[in-house]
Amino acid sequence: MVKKSVVLGSTAIALAIACTSYANAAALRDKWCKDVHLRFFVGGAEGDAFGTIVYNGAKQAQNDTGAQVEFVFSGWSAEKMTQQLREAVAAKPDGIAMMGHPGDDAIMPSAEAASKAGIKMMYQNVPVPKVVAAFGGGYVGAQQAEQGHALGVEAVKDGGLKAGDTAIMIGPFDLENRGARELGTAKAMEEAGVKVTKINSPPEWAADPNLAIPVVTAAILNNPSVKAIGYPGGQLLGNVPTYMQAAKKKPGEIFNFGFDTSPQIVQGFKDGWVQLTADQQPFQQGYLPILNLCEQVVYGLGPINVDTGAGFVTPANYQKVGALATEGLR
């Protein structure tokens, strides 16, 4: 059997190469989002342990896409975020990436106004499912209740907690959407028969975790048999050595756990103060909302939904994220 071969002429080959090159050039654009104006809610104050990682992710996305981004800092105050969101919508940017801390009811009117104005919306860190169902948008962050419950189950296991033991759970329980995570953690421990004392954390504690010293130490004194304490975020979890020393506790005497990573938390693992944390990859919560808003505005693509919950950091594996945490990336 004779195989036939097809030979292209030089003109045909040149045309094929030119078409391929054109297709690649058309698909690869430098600073493709440079004409898009966005507002991005960082959540905390400038220099905040958790907010810094979110900010670094957002700045990287700004650099990669060329988007014009105005960053909004709120000190973790839900009331301040709500007012700043109204101001952001009034400014009519092309898109807004909003922290979901104020909750569905507080965000709903501004989300409606944004929808009517044609402003694309993304939400990060705390989901607002009712808002998204009513007016669209995407979400990048951990699923609060599910991640919280999973951490509680892990704390019971790793902390050796059993029925009748006492634990303390700190969290923003007065915020329905945001507090669902810590409520989930408390629920998981209670399901194991652990007695859980809940302490509400105001946003000021996230801005300055030293403000919680008298409350945390008093809670330990009032619960002398406490076996574990859960913290609502990287700011407080990173400040565990201060709380324990104020209560005259030694490393490992109480099982301290919570959420997020930071240089302070990594050091806490190293020194034996911190035993468990749930990683929610805040860098992605900064990077992906800006990337997707650009995709929506420039290319007409749809909003994305990404669960950034990445599992647990423990004394056995904290060194794997240590270097990135020190750089403000994890």
The pLDDT of residue 27 is: 64
Let me know: does 89 contact 110? Beta carbons within 8 Å: yes
The pLDDT of residue 310 is: 80
Residue 23 pLDDT level (bands cut at 50, 70, 90): low
Give the whole-number percent of the chain exceeding pLDDT 70.
92
Instruction: Note the pLDDT tens digit of each residue in 204-243.
Output: 999 899 999 999 999 999 999 999 999 999 999 999 999 9
- Tell me: pLDDT of 22 over 90: no
Q: What is the mean pLDDT of residues 8-18?
A: 47
Instruction: Note the pLDDT tens digit of each residue in 87-110.
Output: 999 999 999 999 999 999 999 999
Q: What is the mean pLDDT of residues 263-279?
A: 97
Q: How is residue 84 written in tokens?
A: 């700043």
Q: How is residue 144 written in tokens?
A: 């609060």
More confident residue, 173 or 4: 173
Give the whole-number percent of the chain exceeding pLDDT 90.
85
- Tell me: pLDDT of 330 over 90: no
Using the 8-state DSSP alphabet, how is residue 125 labeled?
A: S
- Tell me: pLDDT of 75 over 60: yes
Distances (CA, A) of 279 to 12, 75, 298: 54, 21, 32
Q: What is the mean pLDDT of residues 178-202?
A: 97
Dist CA 99 CA 286 (whole Å): 10
The pLDDT of residue 25 is: 52
- Tell me: pLDDT of 126 over 60: yes
The pLDDT of residue 24 is: 55
Q: What is the mean pLDDT of residues 3-25?
A: 47
- Tell me: pLDDT of 282 over 50: yes
- Tell me: pLDDT of 12 over 90: no
Phi and psi angles of residue 123, each rounded to the nearest 5 degrees, phi first: -125, 145
Dist CA 166 CA 97 (whole Å): 39
Dist CA 40 CA 60 (whole Å): 13
Q: How is residue 38 written in tokens?
A: 């966005």
Let me know: does 146 contact 184? Beta carbons within 8 Å: yes
Q: Which domains does the chain have, with CATH numbers?
A: 37-142+281-310 (3.40.50.2300), 144-279 (3.40.50.2300)
Least confident of 11-25, 137-151, 174-188: 11-25
More confident residue, 322 or 85: 85
CB burial readout 283-301, b (16+ within 10 A) else e? bbbbbbbbbbbbbbbbeee
Dist CA 90 CA 312 (whole Å): 40
- Mean pLDDT (the chain) is 92
Q: What is the mean pLDDT of residues 70-84?
A: 97
